[in-house]
Structure 1
Amino acid sequence: MNDTLTRTEFQSRFEALLSQLSKDNMIDYAFIDIPSDRKPWLDTGIDLSAGERVTTFAVGKTCLKGTDLWFGADFQLWCRIGPDGEIFRGTRASNTFAVEKPDRLYLASYFPGEWATRTGELATPDEVYEQASGCLAALIVRWRVEPIEGLKRLAALGDVDGLVASEIDRLTDPVVPPPGWNYLWFVGPAEIYRSCRTPEKEPAICCHTHRDVGLLQKDVSLPFEPNTRLRWAWRMDRLPSEVREDTLATHDYMSIAVEFDNGQDITYYWSAELPVGTAYRCPIPTWTARETHVAIRSGREGLGQWLDEERNVFQDYQDYIGGLLPGNIVRVWLIALSLFQGREGDGRYADMAFITDAGIIPVSAGGPV
């Protein structure tokens, strides 16, 4: 992520490259500024045609006033084609996409807001953007040729802090999630999770997080009954926090979670410092009402080892959430968050299953059950 490149350097260095590229390669390009304190959406004035191929590059930071927290353009920049088009973003500070329907391009800086709909309406009040400062700068390149060919020709002329090479790498060697798993749409895609194997060659899911976030989900349909338990094996090699995770500024962790049909979820994680059994509501304001964290391991002992876990989810719901019980379990999540402190985390998950009085229901790490 290019968090040190200034807005002026970003534009001047890309213009120097693009000026050398033949007009046979691209239709046009434009630089757009997106103030972080402006609520979505920003009208770019760029009208795209059906079938066009577009690459975006972005730099800049969104900062939360009164804190040391900041979020890079790779997480912050979202796009929409048309006033009612479906919103999307890339996984890096660059992205490439094809235009299906002709319309105007809109851009947005996301956090501290949260999406309510797939067309970019907000679930948060407009006033939350008063908490933000900073600015994103985006370069929009509209290609005449296949984007990968245009990018390679651009790379032959030079690069800007590795942004061109990174987009070529993303297109030629994409990091795809395990079959049957999908990233939570309103947080956005990531390159955090991929399929791997245990030492016994059994299917597993590998996780690597570094100043990013990913909520990987798999749908299940299971009545929520007494004695419903979740079983899994994991190997946590490196935790993304070295301090307790129950504040907004330190809320970096990796976990496995269970979502219920009432919108609540319990997420089980390995804490750096909090005692085993500590439970708390999520410190991210937009998640406080729906997510409960439970520390089931703590400290460095056991890191780097495969460990088997089992939780009585029914009992945990009663103990840590309470109230009217949900009727069904609807999803399993794997969560990785390292945006706040910017550290790295590594881990693996395998042998996930629900255990009920009726039997064992596997949650496949490699595809549909």
Structure 2
Amino acid sequence: MAGIFTELGVAGRLAGRSLLRRLRAEVSAPPDLQAFTRGMQQLLDQATPASVGNYAWLTLPATQAPWFPGNFVLQAGDAVSYFVEGRVYANRFLDIYLNPALQLWCKVGAQGEIFRGTRNSHSFVAQSGGELTFGNYFPNDWADAQGQRKQSDAVYQSLGGELKILMIRWNGSAAEGLQQLLAHGDYQGRIQAELQRIEQGDTTPPGWHYLWHLGPGEIYRQQQDAHGQACIHCHTHADVGILQKDVDLPLTAHSEISWRWCINQLPSTLREDAVPSHDYLSLAVEFDNGRDITYYWSSTLPEGTGYDCPLPNWKGIEYHVVVRSGQAGLGQWLDERRNLHDDYRKYMGEPPARITRVWLIANSIFQRGTGDCAYAQIRLHSAAGDTSVL
């Protein structure tokens, strides 16, 4: 894992990039929350009582710990949409910030389960009655489905910025209400975008699911490669997602995993073992002790490099192993095969008993770059035979 001097070196390079972007006027200005409020309010002012039941506005400071009351009480079956704008800074100097879709989580009622949307707007039907409350996510993490946190809420004091949230309860379905509101106009295409998201539906590849405490996404989609074979395409930009598929196999000396992948673009040009540059694409395997080993393509680190995850919430859980490095081979379908038992013993210690999941990981939140790749023919191999994952 990177030491303090490596972290400082990465931070220095990111600071240089940020300064250069500022000199070139390429740093995007923070969202105009007043303009957002005016634009959405103008639409609401034209809405008919037949479509909009009621609405409310809320400002959520980045330093506010969960769960913050929205002063918006729902009944089971209510159709709701929310729209959010703003920016939460992890580091203003390095221009590291999170998009609202990743940062803003919700729940209905004190015992309700937490959830978030995949975009800066989201529509849902309340499964139970109670007050709609909101919570900042980063830099904490969820300990359970009711939104208890793994770290002290003091970690939120390191953040800056705020989010502006509009909550709307519809008299009919969300799609019907949005269509009626759209008849009076739109603001920056937000109403149309939410309608499109609803119409699109869930894009999660069949048989897979997103890691619950990171939340859902639109990063992965089931597709076909040039030969008509099933593959999963991944596109990430300023977001993060872990796609998982459950398995249950013994981990023995013969346990191997193989896969094909085509990496078109890496999300980082810096070494990935430091927190502010920890953007990467990978395939991972989880074991019954809760740990995982993740195989990834590094932009700069040598093949064979291994390190514990630098993110505080993932230290001691995830271990990174570089299986390819640099630009050579990008854009080509390549085959990989690893012995899981040997790699675990080499990098992590005494191997556990069983293999429990296969993951696909995409992270681009820190540098807000773009990563693009596809995976195919994922197989787990053992002395007893092969198991197809994809």
Q: Identify the TM-score tier after normalising by the shorter chain.
A: over 0.9
Report which of the two has the higher share of helix. 2
Work out which of the residue numbers 195, 208, 212 in structure 2 matches 1:168.
195
Which residue of structure 2 lines up, in the alignment, with residue 191 of structure 1?
218
1:259 is the counterpart of 2:286? yes
Task: Map 1:344-355; keep pairs closer than 5 Å.
Answer: 344-355=370-381
Q: Say which SS state the counterpart of residue 91 (structure 1) adopts.
A: coil
* Pair 1:55–1:3, CA change in 2 (3 A): farther
Q: Say which SS state the counterpart of residue 313 (structure 2) adopts.
A: coil
> Which stretches in structure 1 are left out of the alignment for 5+ residues?
none
Task: Map 1:1-369; keep pairs closer than 5 Å.
Answer: 4-65=30-91, 67-322=94-349, 324-363=350-389, 365=390
Normalising by structure 1, we get a TM-score of 0.95
Partner letter of residue 146 of structure 1?
A: S
Normalising by structure 2, we get a TM-score of 0.90
Contact 2:219-2:236 within 8 A present in 1 as well: yes
Superposition deviation, residue 161 in structure 1? 2.2
Contact 2:30-2:87 within 8 A present in 1 as well: no
Superposition deviation, residue 158 in structure 1? 2.2
Superposition deviation, residue 300 in structure 1? 1.1
Superposition deviation, residue 174 in structure 1? 2.7
Q: Distance in 2 between matches of 1:177 and 1:277?
A: 32
Superposition deviation, residue 124 in structure 1? 1.2
Q: Distance in 1 between matches of 2:186 and 2:311?
A: 37
Superposition deviation, residue 4 in structure 1? 4.2
Q: Distance in 2 between matches of 1:150 and 1:3?
A: 32
Contact 1:109-1:136 within 8 A present in 2 as well: no
Partner letter of residue 41 of structure 2?
A: E
Q: Distance in 2 between matches of 1:280 and 1:163?
A: 42
> Which stretches in structure 2 are left out of the alignment for 5+ residues?
1-27
Which residue of structure 1 lines up, in the alignment, with residue 20 of structure 2?
none
Superposition deviation, residue 3 in structure 1? 7.7
Q: Distance in 1 between matches of 2:65 and 2:339?
A: 42
Q: Distance in 2 between matches of 1:9 and 1:325?
A: 56
Contact 1:3-1:61 within 8 A present in 2 as well: no
Contact 1:255-1:334 within 8 A present in 2 as well: yes
Moved more, 105-114 or 166-175: 166-175
* Pair 1:3–1:80, CA change in 2 (3 A): farther
- Deviations, residues 104-129 of structure 1 (Å, cap 9, x unaligned): 11111111110000011111112111
Q: For this pair of structures, how many residues does the alignment match?
A: 362
Quote the sequence identity (%): 43
Contact 1:3-1:60 within 8 A present in 2 as well: no
Q: Distance in 2 between matches of 1:16 and 1:5?
A: 18
Q: Distance in 1 between matches of 2:173 and 2:45?
A: 19
